[in-house]
Amino acid sequence: MMFFIKNVFSGHHLRSGRGVVLCVLLSLMSCLFVSPVGAQSTQSKEYVIKPRDAWVTPIEVDVAAVNKDNQTSRGVFYLLADAQVRIEKGQRESYRHFAIKALNEQGLDQLGHVEISFDPSYQKLSLHAITLRRAGRAIDKLKTAKIQVLQREKELEARIYDGSKTANVFLEDVQVGDVLEYSYTISGSNPVFKGKQSGSFDFQASVPVHHLYNRLVTEKERALHFTYRNAKEEVSTLDNGEMREYVWENKQVPALIMPSETPQWHDPYPFVQWSDYRDWASVAQWATPLYQLPTQRSAAIQKIIDKINAEHKEPAQKMMAALLYVQKEIRYLGVEIGMNSHAPNPPDLVLSRRFGDCKDKTLLTLTLLQGLGIKAWPALVHTSLERSVALSEPTPFAFNHVIVHATLDGKEYWLDPTRSKQVPSASKVYQPNYGFALIIDPSTTKLKAIATVDSQIQRRKVNMLIDTSAGFDQPSKFQVTTVYEGVSAESMRNMLRSENREDLLKRFLNFYAHYYPSVEQVEPAKVVDDEMQNRLVITENYVINKLWTHNEEKKRTESSYYTPEIESILPRPGQPIRNQPYALNHPIDIEQTTEIRLPSAWKLKDEDTKFTSPAFEVHHRVKLQGDKIIMIDHYRSLKDHLLADEMTKHTEAVDAAKNALGLMIWQVDTVAGEEDAEGTSNESDHSDRALIRSDMNWVAIVIALLFSVIWIEIARRWYCADRALVNTSTPKQAEEIGGWLILMAIGIVLTPLMILWGLKDFDGYGLSTWLVLMNPASEAFHPSLILLLIVEMGANIGFAILSTVVVIFFFKRSHRFPRAFIGVFWGISIFHFVDLTLAQQLSTASDVSVKDWAEAIRGAIYTLIWTLYVVKSERVKQTFVRIIGQTLPPPPSPMQAEALQTLGIVPAEKKLPPENPNTAPEIDAQDFVAKSGSVTKPDSKAPDH
């Protein structure tokens, strides 16, 4: 069955199941003309030249129209896209009128060549006008244009011959800025539909359109049904005698360009569908006579049925034998001319000529199944629209394929006779899932959902063995055993049948060479095919000549291991920022087990990590078994598409999973002469070998703990130094923290956290780094480097702890905060400069950059600014006055307060604090009564902010 074009005026081949029979294709073609026929003749066998018919509403072209959105798509701007259809007494006329402006050189290709496709078996083409408008002049090109009608089979690559022809109009002397205006009519209806009509009008295209006009004229009594997709129901109707017309008109329509990787079933374009078919039952009733089984079977067909009955006893075996016979013996070739676009050929004819399309092969299969006593029906589906067929207006054009729906022992089977020869097992055979199907049967009333079965899952299990036990300098054995099941087995089986075995193996080799460049094949692959279980196993044997490499910079020998099967199905989206769904391959279930055999036992920390996206799950595990490392990675898809708002999470999960997959292991270079001194091979001692993620340095950890204990004790004594002042000093009222102090609080709170975080991320304390630095044979060796690292560790731990004490002083509003802040933070800045200076003096410490010095200078400037603030600010002086451990005296009781008010010391209107001392604020008694008995007035100076 045929595909139909989405945008009849844009030339953009977007597949759709909607009923647009007429195809106008504007594409890049320049070598189609053999012997052009001049258009001076007003008639041809294939077309006629005449004025448009009276029923057409003439639409004027606004040549001066401007693309307000300044959009450009393929270098053209459509000034007019005019589509008018007239249906009367079952016959159909389709009028098209276009005006296209070339905006640049690319647009000249669109204007210079016009294609109009039609089916001469039931359609006639009438050309009305071809005009080139330039600088206010209208040039009639119909008289001089070269017109050639060619038989071009656009579906021939898919082995479909539909007999369609294309009128090619080639225009000379086309310039940028020209406007090409042309119009034509195609008349006729396919008799297979017996007068019933359906179609659609698009309200937007992949190119900008200034004026979009759609008009449908038909009899009043014709009961048309309308379905709007992505559009509002905005239509004007007009009755004229016995006819009724529907008009949809839009101006300044912007282009809608589909991003890549969009699901085929997703159609964001606004459009309206119209159809004579009131529901899906009427479509099924239309198709039922087309698939009528023969009342009498021919001798040739009966012979096949008898042979199957003789060779098989179980009904399921007979069903599969009939399917396999048609798949194997009847090659796929569709001759879809006229009625045969939708009507199958008789089974006897198909059998005799040994070819047929999906309709032919389905009807022959149904005939065999009927003779075998198996109930089965044809089922209409769409191979790309799939489940979105359910959103379509009922019409035969909602489908482009037909398969077999059979029932046996209470189970449903969806069988496709057009597939390559499948396996004979009914329980293991792959059954396609096209979302929804229309069963062709008089009792059908609605679409039927196709259930998901296990055979539809693309399932593979890959066992990868990498044997490096012979040593670092020896080639490593590399064996890959892949188990294909279900549809994966079927696909690989067909690939082995259709491709040259040697070329296929080279593709496999190059696939692994992407990960292991020195890989070589040592013997041909072995294939074991279990068709009954639909299971195929391929074993490949390679050798990796140079798996281990020496890293001069890090002074170690290392090797990397990958997960090719899973990494290859985790691509990053080409357009992660999008407003349309993102298509994914689904369902997939892949497990790869990688066994790495090492020269001897190895240190390894087990891993077990999961990564989840809205679209997939990845489970990554690594474990050690003596001198073997087992890496198991499992990928499972969750759905076939993502919405636009799920893309960020999906992309992050893809990146995280790909970063976690695989493994690197290494051996740090040992001290020169160590082997001779010890009399043993390096392979006998792996105390310095580890995975990247297990570089634990216990010496550094112990040193860090000792520093922590010392600095904590120093901080404790510093904090408790106020104890002697608690009973000897007068308590003072402190201001609340406010103003610039709030900003200061953020900085001092983050300081200890940033110091510890930087200490955590610094890889200089890793075991491998220390081993290199202590190795005299290493270029990075320097006697003072380890000492400098230890001093840095102690200083950073100390400053982290002391700055934490500064934070405590700050929030307790301690009188010690200003000096503590100045001392600690200037200590941090000074140490930063000293540390960089010492590091730069060491010949191997070449990684001290300008950025490091800039960071140190920036920190010193910040410290200077805040020091000046602490010294000069009145708010600081009035806020940090407390002595830790000291409390203010309780406020006066109500009786005391009343006495104070009587004496005039406390104003009567001033609200007294509550009696409960637990909730009373801290108030200095000196604010109430001075030693001389006079009233003390508060300082009237406003605090500094």
What are 874-930's pLDDT values in tens digits?
Answer: 888 888 878 777 676 666 666 666 665 665 555 444 444 444 444 444 434 334 333
Nearest to 302 by CA among 363, 356, 346, 348: 348
Burial 711-749 (b: 16+ CB within 10 A, else e): beeebeeebeebeeeeeeeebbbbbeeebebeebeeebe
pTM of the predicted model over 0.95? no
How many Å apart are CA 712 and CA 893, to the nearest integer?
43
Q: Is the pLDDT of residue 844 over 80?
A: no
Question: From residue 846, how far is each of 551, 777, 839, 843 by CA, in Å?
Answer: 18, 18, 8, 7
pLDDT at 701: 81
At residue 286, the pLDDT reads 96
Instruction: Tell me the Cα Rg of the chain.
Output: 42
For residue 538, pLDDT over 70 is answered with yes
Cα separation, 778 vs 774, whole angstroms: 8
What is the reported pLDDT for 765? 66
For the sheet with 535-544, list strands across it.
Answer: 519-530, 535-544, 476-485, 458-467, 588-597, 628-637, 616-625, 607-612
Q: How many residues does the chain have?
A: 945
CA geometry: angle 143, 145, 148, nearest 5 deg: 120
Closest by CA to 4, choosing from 200, 298, 255, is 200
Range in 80-84, 220-224, 656-660, 922-926 the model is least confident about: 922-926
In this structure, is the dihedral angle defined by the CA atoms of residues 747, 753, 756 and 762, taken in order, positive or negative?
negative
Out of 304-318, 507-521, 670-684, 707-721, which region has the weakest mean confidence (pLDDT)? 670-684
| pLDDT reported for residue 892 | 64
Nearest Cα to 475, choosing from 427, 532, 414, 520?
520
b/e for 139-166, b at 16 or more Cβ within 10 A? Answer: eebbeebebbbeeeebeeeeebbbebbb
Residue 899: what pLDDT? 61
CATH of domain 4-29+38-276: 2.60.40.3140
**CB of 211 within 8 A of CB of 65?**
yes
Average pLDDT over residues 693-705: 69
User: Looking at residue 338, what is its pLDDT?
Assistant: 73
At residue 432 the predicted structure's pLDDT band, cuts being 50, 70 and 90, is very high
- How many other C-beta atoms are found inside a 10 Å radius of the C-beta of residue 532? 11
In the chain, where are the structural domains located? Answer: 4-29+38-276, 284-451, 456-668, 698-879, 894-923
Cis peptide bond N-terminal to 587, omega within 30: yes
- Check: CB of residue 477 under 8 Å from CB of residue 524: no
Q: In 188-242, which ranges are E strands?
A: 198-202, 209-219, 225-229, 236-240
Please tell me the predicted confidence (pLDDT) of residue 895. 66
Mean per-residue pLDDT, 147-164: 67
Asked if 44 and 56 touch (Cβ cutoff 8 Å), the reply is no
More confident residue, 112 or 686: 112
Q: How far apart are CA 453 and CA 412, in angstroms?
A: 10
pLDDT surpassing 80 at residue 722: no
- Check pLDDT > 50 for residue 33: no
> Partners of 101 in the beta sheet?
77, 179
State residue 159 phi and psi, 5-degree precision.
60, 45
The closest alpha carbon to 687, from 674, 702, 676, 704, belongs to: 674
Q: Is the pLDDT of residue 484 over 60?
A: yes
pLDDT given at position 939:
40
CB 83 within 8 A of CB 110: no
Sequence-distant (6+) residues with CB within 8 A of 590 are: 458, 459, 460, 461, 462, 565, 566, 569, 634, 635, 636
What is the spatial distance between Cα 555 and Cα 370, in angstroms, rounded to a whole number?
75
Distance CA 283, CA 445 (A): 9
Q: What's the rounded Cα separation, in Å, for the pair 936 and 926?
A: 8
Q: What percentage of the chain exceeds 90 in pLDDT? A: 51
- 533-554: b or e for each residue (b if 16 or more CB lie within 10 Å)? ebbbbbbbbbbbeebbeeeeeb
- Please classify residue 644 by burial: count the beta carbons closer than 10 Å to its beta carbon, then call 0-12 exposed, 13-18 middle and 19+ buried: middle
Q: Which residues contact 709 (CB under 8 A, 6 or more apart)?
A: none
Average pLDDT along the chain: 82
Same topology, domains 4-29+38-276 and 284-451? Answer is no
Asked whether the beta carbons of 439 and 403 are under 8 A apart, the reply is: no
Paired residues of 613 in beta bridges = none
Angle formed by the axes of helices 783-811 and 817-841, nearest 10°: 160
Are 116 and 124 in contact by the 8 Å Cβ rule? The answer is no
**pLDDT-based confidence at 296, cuts 50/70/90?**
very high
Query: How far is it, in rounded angstroms, from Cα 723 to Cα 719?
Result: 9
Give the C-alpha separation, 906 to 915, whole Å. Answer: 16
Cβ atoms within 10 Å, residue 6? 22
Count of Cβ atoms closer than 10 Å to residue 442 Cβ: 9
Q: Give tens-digit pLDDT for 341-388.
A: 899 999 999 999 999 999 999 999 999 999 999 999 999 999 999 989
Q: Which residues contact 761 (CB under 8 A, 6 or more apart)?
A: none
Give the C-alpha separation, 316 to 304, whole Å: 16
Domain spanning 456-668 has what CATH number?
2.60.120.1130
pLDDT at 172 exceeding the cut of 90: no
767 vs 687: which has the higher pLDDT: 767
619-630 core/surface letters (b: 16 or more CB in 10 A; e: else): bbebebeeebbe
Q: Please tell me the predicted confidence (pLDDT) of residue 920.
A: 40
Parallel, antiparallel, or unpaired for β 355-356 and 331-332? parallel
Q: Interhelix angle for 698-719 vs 783-811, to 10°?
A: 30
CA distance 754 to 716: 22
pLDDT of res. 890: 66
- pLDDT surpassing 90 at residue 211: yes
Is residue 289 scored above 90 in pLDDT?
yes
Q: b vs e for 791-830, b when ≥16 Cβ sit within 10 Å of the residue's Cβ?
A: ebbbbbbbbbbbbbbbbebbebbbbbbbebbbebbebbbe
DSSP assignment string, 613-657: -SSEEEEEEEEEETTEEEEEEEEEE--SEE-GGGHHHHHHHHHHH
CATH 3.10.20.740 for domain 284-451, yes or no, is no
Report the pLDDT value the prediction gives residue 773, as an integer from 0 to 100. 61
Reading the block at residue 902, the tokens are 């009587």
Q: What whole-number distance in Å separates Cα of residue 113 and Cα of residue 107?
A: 11
Bridge partners of residue 5, in order along the sequence:
15
Tokens of 686: 């792996």
Average pLDDT over residues 184-196: 94
Q: Which of 173, 98, 97 is nearest to 137 (CA)?
A: 173
Rounded to whole angstroms, how far apart are CA atoms 114 and 412?
A: 48
- Asked if the model's pLDDT at residue 320 lies above 70, the reply is yes
Q: For 62-89, what is each residue's pLDDT tens digit?
A: 999 988 766 677 788 999 999 999 999 9
Compute CA distances 97 → 25, 51, 94, 252, 507, whole Å: 13, 13, 10, 17, 50
